[in-house]
Structure 1
Amino acid sequence: MSGTGAMDNNMLTISELLETGFIKCSICKSVYQDPRLLPCLHTFCHKCIQGITEIEKPSKSSKNQTESPNQLQTVNGNEEENETNDEKKTGKKMKLVCPVCVSPIEVGITDKKPNEFPSNTFMKDLSDMFDYKHEKERQCEYCKFDGKITSASSLCLDCHDNMCQGCTGAHFRTKVTRTHKVIPYSQVQKGLYDTDIREYQTPTCTKHADEPLNIFCEKCELLICKECKVGNHDDHKWSSADKAVLKYEVQMINLLKGIQQQIPSIHKYVQFLSNYEKSIEGGREKLTNSIKKQADELHRMIDEQKASSLEAVNNACDTERCEIQVRSSNLQTAATSLENNEEYLRQLLKHGKPEEVLTLHREITQRLTQLTHMQMDGITARLKTDFIPGSSTLRNIQTVFGKLSIDHVPLKHSESGLASGSALQISNMLPNVRNTPELILEFNGEGMSDTKEVWPTGVAVTKDDELVIVDRDNKKVKIYERNGKLKQEIHGKGENKLETPFDVTVLKSGDLAVSDHEAENVKLFTSTGEHTLTITDGIKYPRGITTNTKGEVIILDCQLQQVTVHDPKSGALIKTIEGKDTKGIKVLVDPYYITVTPQDNIIVTDTASPNIKVFSPDGKYLANYGHYGMRNDEVLQPYGVCCDHYGYIFVADNQNHRIHLLLPDGKLSKFLLTKTESLWHPMGLALTENGNLVVTEALGKVKIYKYI
């Protein structure tokens, strides 16, 4: 479907929408049968998905790979007998490639059966509605009980039964069913009952038959029925579907706006690539004519050089055209994918019922967040070719024939046709990160008089690359030289004694600011341990602490669920960031650590969501990253966080034993460190002056890695 057509559907009624290709599977070209939603937000019939799925066994040899990529492969008994123990442990995976956006999708297998994709209830209801509105042979379901075959003329929206004229009259005369909504198919086909049909289309619980899904469990983020609520969700916070959908509608609308802004940019860039391809052909023709003219003038003496130069031109131009065609094809595929997503979401938000929106909100939000941060795979340099004819002498054939120049020159941003500040960027100038960071130092954070196991909750680095570690359980701050040798311990004295220190930051003056959440304050010490100031204004239960580029002290309060900014000299409260979204709802639940980007945006890790929240310097809620789990873009317990001067963001995923490396836009780049590198329950993160990553682990290990 073209982009123009997709936008025109914005004005269609639901009856008109049903007559477009919106509810037709792009594989079988028919109206959806049991439609399922893929993670990329494209919908296909359940059988069609099975037809493009293959089983992938653990890698062993090429002969074990499935022969047909377009056919669902089953596992027979012989194959199972030949499996090794390792294969049985690892299991098999199913994989498919979305025919629309070419996204690779893995499907786990449980009990030798593939995990199912969620039913697209919105598309299913529209497909049922399409079926109601078109003539077909329907039989009365009540006459069947008497062994008779009678054509049905009406539909009961309450019972979902087809009835003949006689049974319809009986239906109205029966006390239990006399109030039911019965509609004649002849009028349904004229569109007279569209609103009634949509009103009665309510999803029902798969666990409790015929129970409507009209309650939203806010803790589990699931649409449930009243039986589910009593059984498994009774102690959870819940609300009605009508009320709960408001939050997710706003979120989807905002993400939808981001997609709508990207689609024109992609089309514009595809046009630019098309024009560029044409110019390549024009340049090829011009160069070819110039080379042939010079070759004719020099006759046989330069035939070899002529052939060599033509080959070089053709190779360069063909290579460039191939690159252009590949990128153009990828971008057109991306545009088609985004348009389909955009069209589906507009129709879902316009015509979908709250229950339908809430049923799919998790997959939709995750996919749209990914699309919002999509970067364009464009070109960064233009092919530049030239031919300079040489003088017509026989002294040197190469000199006589001329010099062929083939090179790429940097592409000006204005040439690409993308407006300044476009959401899609051609490239980001970021340094390459090592596949495996180099461990350059490791030591145990033991002190001189520890009475408990070391619990290094906070870490910071001084200008001299000395490491400052907060040992929460031993109630002290430890300072180590750059080689890991213990230099100083700070306990505090008297009323300034540390009670339960949590995190630390180094001020521009060189002083240390330590959050003491049991004492409900932040204490400032010199590097030799002398107390200089206590900050109490505006804070109740401080945890994470950092400084911005101005040198101001930024404190994260987990009880008040807010961030406060203080003057480093007086401790006076400068401003409070309440951590609310555009609707005034607090987004911080159980925040732990805090850091700032080079632009002074504030990043907070929240263990209860769990995810990472980003705020502007003035407190505007900008974005978030991560969901609960163990897969990509998922965290179990986000702890320490830091950001280097390039904009890379590092997040300690404590329970998953890994460090997430995020791009400056919040998109996951990779897992920088995992269990494979012997990482164990990472806690605090910091960066040294020369750009190495410091990681503290539960029970006291301190490790420093070179990652670039």
Structure 2
Amino acid sequence: MEAMLGQSRRGVNPRSGQVTIQTQPPLAEHGQNPRSASNLVFFEKTECVHSFSTQLEDDRGVRMTGLAVDKEHMFVADYVNNRTKVFTHKGQYKFDIKLNYPCDVAVSQTGHLYITSHGDSCVQVYSTRGQQVTTMGQGLLKWPWGITLNRQGHVMVCDSVKKSIFTFHADSGQLLNTIPLNMCVSPVYITVNSLNYNIAVADRWGHCVHVLSPTGDHLYQYGSSESDGVLLMLPRGVCTDNYGHIFFADMGNRRIVALSPQGQFIRYIVTEDDGFEYPVALTINPAGQLVVGDEIGKVETFKYIQLKEGEQNLFFVYCD
């Protein structure tokens, strides 16, 4: 996909060190004025605005596998310690939810946590205050891994063994839909694009990211293809921002990749120079910043983009 940049114009403002992207405005439902987003500026060097460790005194090491945020808290799935930890945005530990090998976590606007449990082969549902609510997918799921919510607020689960996406009703837990992932070797993490509702799936052992239409039709893949020349290694967490940009953790290469809503390479947001060992989990916080979790327990928050109005003498990537 990086070769597609030859069809676009891309550059850096030498004075500001910023890459400017012209893209579609965010959706009105996210509470932003689309007219204010004519130009989006990606900083050439992202700014880390906060960092903390999720390791607790009684932990046996850490293996972070999932990350989610709401307005008050960060929720961290720690696979080896059998718990999902709850922190403030500043990194203050509040409490944890004990589960059998949690893989990933998603949080709803209604105050529910949806946690994939490898040990229980289901989705465990809790309130954001730690009270258990219900379970989903028992008897259907084999190894539920990545989890996200679609635009209707229903729960989408990526099963790595069954190579399928299962969609459950957020309240009743009823199975609504199943999308096969026959193109994948080992699908793990999943997200739904907030701009076009396409589904992005990280294929760990396929060393690529697949993008599907909302109905499950395969649109394209990024990486692991002789035609695009992109070599990924063990891609993991994937998320999108309000403008439809796709971010995923290229874990084996110790970097975070940013793509346009159409799958064009934009830049590396975080690299091994930022001190990450195994970037594995991603999310966007309410401030529009990228939150990155390292498998060994570090969480860092990055400011990567800003809006510009009437900016001149800048170079653009046209992503339409």
- Per the TM superposition, whether the score is higher than 0.5 is yes
Shift of 1:370: 4.1
Higher strand share: 2
- CA deviations 1:116-139 (Å, max 9, x no partner) are xxxxxxxxxxxxxxxxxxxxxxxx
Please give the alpha-carbon distance, in whole angstroms, between the structure 2 residues aligned to 1:465 and 1:601.
28
**What are the equivalent positions in structure 2 for 1:390-401 lying under 5 Å apart?**
none
Please give the alpha-carbon distance, in whole angstroms, between the structure 2 residues aligned to 1:448 and 1:570.
38
Please give the alpha-carbon distance, in whole angstroms, between the structure 2 residues aligned to 1:525 and 1:468.
12
Higher helix share: 1
Please give the alpha-carbon distance, in whole angstroms, between the structure 2 residues aligned to 1:512 and 1:674.
30
**2:110 is aligned with 1:513:** no
TM-score, structure 2 length as denominator? 0.81
Q: 1:487 is matched with which residue?
A: 94
2:223 to 620, 626, 637: 626
Please give the alpha-carbon distance, in whole angstroms, between the structure 1 residues aligned to 2:301 and 2:8.
34
Q: 1:501 is matched with which residue?
A: 102
Q: 2:29 is matched with which residue?
A: none
CA 1:590–1:430: 2 relative to 1, 3 Å: farther
Please give the alpha-carbon distance, in whole angstroms, between the structure 1 residues aligned to 2:233 and 2:143.
23
Q: 1:594 is matched with which residue?
A: 190
How many residues align structurally? 275
User: For the pair shown, which has the larger CA radius of gyration, 1 or 2?
Assistant: 1
Q: Which amino acid aligns with 2:95?
A: Q
Q: Which amino acid aligns with 2:81?
A: N
Q: 1:690 is matched with which residue?
A: 287
Secondary structure of 2:273 counterpart: helix
Please give the alpha-carbon distance, in whole angstroms, between the structure 1 residues aligned to 2:6 and 2:164.
31
Secondary structure of 2:129 counterpart: coil
1:615 to 199, 205, 212: 212
Please give the alpha-carbon distance, in whole angstroms, between the structure 1 residues aligned to 2:126 and 2:200.
25
| Aligned 8 A contact 1:633 1:668 in 2 | no
Gaps of 5+ in 2: 10-36, 306-320
- CA deviations 1:644-667 (Å, max 9, x no partner) are 011111110111111111111111
**What are the equivalent positions in structure 2 for 1:218-617 lying under 5 Å apart?**
370=3, 375=7, 429-447=38-56, 449-450=58-59, 452-462=60-70, 464-491=71-98, 498-536=99-137, 538-579=140-181, 586-598=182-194, 599-617=196-214
| Aligned 8 A contact 1:628 1:636 in 2 | no
CA 1:563–1:632: 2 relative to 1, 3 Å: same
Secondary structure of 2:40 counterpart: coil
Shift of 1:610: 1.1
| Aligned 8 A contact 1:556 1:592 in 2 | yes
Please give the alpha-carbon distance, in whole angstroms, between the structure 2 residues aligned to 1:458 and 1:559.
18
Gaps of 5+ in 1: 1-365, 378-427, 492-497, 580-585
Please give the alpha-carbon distance, in whole angstroms, between the structure 2 residues aligned to 1:370 and 1:653.
18
Q: Which amino acid aligns with 1:592?
A: V
- CA deviations 1:190-233 (Å, max 9, x no partner) are xxxxxxxxxxxxxxxxxxxxxxxxxxxxxxxxxxxxxxxxxxxx
Shift of 1:698: 2.2
Secondary structure of 1:478 counterpart: strand
Shift of 1:430: 4.9
CA 1:429–1:609: 2 relative to 1, 3 Å: farther
Q: Which amino acid aligns with 2:48?
A: L
| Aligned 8 A contact 2:233 2:251 in 1 | yes
Instruction: Note the aligned Cα RMSD (angstroms).
Output: 2.1
CA 1:446–1:480: 2 relative to 1, 3 Å: same
Q: Which amino acid aligns with 1:475?
A: N
Q: Which amino acid aligns with 2:135?
A: T
Please give the alpha-carbon distance, in whole angstroms, between the structure 1 residues aligned to 2:115 and 2:242.
23
Secondary structure of 1:600 counterpart: coil
**What are the equivalent positions in structure 2 for 1:47-62 lying under 5 Å apart?**
none
Secondary structure of 1:691 counterpart: coil
CA 1:679–1:527: 2 relative to 1, 3 Å: same
Q: Which amino acid aligns with 2:297?
A: G
Please give the alpha-carbon distance, in whole angstroms, between the structure 1 residues aligned to 2:62 and 2:252.
18
| Aligned 8 A contact 2:82 2:101 in 1 | yes
Secondary structure of 1:655 counterpart: helix
Please give the alpha-carbon distance, in whole angstroms, between the structure 2 residues aligned to 1:504 and 1:660.
21
CA 1:688–1:632: 2 relative to 1, 3 Å: farther
Shift of 1:528: 2.1
Shift of 1:589: 1.2
**What are the equivalent positions in structure 2 for 1:18-97 lying under 5 Å apart?**
none
| Aligned 8 A contact 2:278 2:296 in 1 | no
Q: Which amino acid aligns with 1:610?
A: H
Q: Which has the higher contact order (CA 8 A, sep 6+)?
A: 2
CA 1:554–1:567: 2 relative to 1, 3 Å: same
Shift of 1:441: 0.7
**What are the equivalent positions in structure 2 for 1:163-174 lying under 5 Å apart?**
none
**What are the equivalent positions in structure 2 for 1:130-169 lying under 5 Å apart?**
none
| Aligned 8 A contact 1:610 1:628 in 2 | no
Q: Which amino acid aligns with 2:145?
A: R
- CA deviations 1:420-460 (Å, max 9, x no partner) are xxxxxxxx95511111111111111023532x111110000
Shift of 1:677: 2.0
| Aligned 8 A contact 1:545 1:554 in 2 | yes
- Percent sequence identity is 32
Secondary structure of 2:171 counterpart: coil
| Aligned 8 A contact 1:447 1:478 in 2 | no
| Aligned 8 A contact 1:507 1:568 in 2 | no
Q: 2:32 is matched with which residue?
A: none
| Aligned 8 A contact 2:277 2:296 in 1 | no
CA 1:697–1:613: 2 relative to 1, 3 Å: same
Q: 2:275 is matched with which residue?
A: 678
